[in-house]
Amino acid sequence: MTDTVRESYDRLADEYARRLFCELDKKPFDRLLLDRFAHATTLRGKVCDVGCGPGEVADYLAKAGARVVGLDLSPQMLEHARHLNPDLSFIEGNMMSLPFKTAEMAGIAAFYAIVNVPPEYLSRVFEEMHRVLQLDGLLLLAFHVGNGRVSDPESWTWGHRISMDWFLFPTAEVRRLLEAAGFRIEDVIERDPYPPEVEDQTRRAYIFARRRRTEEGSCRCPADR
């Protein structure tokens, strides 16, 4: 699965960067949430833009005052990110095995980073995010709301043949998995899509969640033991 996703995004990287690097300009609500995330984490330490793509979220967070590093699976996406954001740091990595120390990050912004993650792997992803966050560290997770796969195993996107799946997730299930991984849910927000010329017509969800202290009743995740 990982190799397929990496190869597909490598093929899409040029067109993805051209089409989507400035997409936040047309998304005022998303900018508001990123401002809230940056304000909550700025004085606490580094934050990671997981699934950073060409770095549009990392760029926005840095301009809002966050100490941000971007992480992506695709070398070609990272090449664009470094070119478009020469003052920021970007590293290659897999969100199912994050290349950070336990409790290293003050925050994680994961804007649609789980869109290609099959449901059976979500728990592992959330446990890794929980592991690398500081106690009370903040996660901002954005995802497409729904249920099931929305793509064929092989399809054409922007003129390129790719082979990966996209997934929609029920908000209540994502919340349940985050809580099981040790997060305390701070806020859950949903919105209807922006107009078709701005984004795909799926409902969107955003969850603010904090790494819960063990004394609050959370079980330690396996990586903490």
Q: Which domains does the chain have, with CATH numbers?
A: 2-224 (3.40.50.150)
pLDDT at 11: 86
pLDDT at 159: 66
Alpha carbon of residue 61 to chain centroid: 13
Beta strands, E only, 16-72:
46-50, 67-72
Three-state DSSP class for residue 78: helix
Q: How far apart are the first and last CA of the chain?
A: 28
pLDDT in tens, 132-183: 999 999 999 999 999 988 765 445 466 666 667 889 999 999 999 999 999 9
Beta strands, E only, the chain:
46-50, 67-72, 89-92, 105-111, 133-144, 148-149, 155-157, 160-162, 167-168, 183-191, 204-211
pLDDT at 220: 46
12, 68, 147, 214 from 88: Cα distances, Å: 22, 7, 35, 33
* Distance separating alpha carbons of residues 32 and 191, to the nearest angstrom: 13
Mark the ranges of the chain whose per-residue pLDDT is less than 50: 153-154, 156, 215, 217-225
Query: Is residue 61 within a helix (H) or strand (E), and if so which, with residue range?
Result: helix 56-63
User: Is 190 in contact with 204 (CB distance < 8 Å)?
Assistant: yes
Alpha carbon of residue 186 to chain centroid: 17
pLDDT at 17: 93
* Distance separating alpha carbons of residues 177 and 83, to the nearest angstrom: 36
Three-state DSSP class for residue 86: coil
pTM: 0.90
pLDDT at 223: 43
pLDDT at 142: 98
* Distance separating alpha carbons of residues 39 and 64, to the nearest angstrom: 8
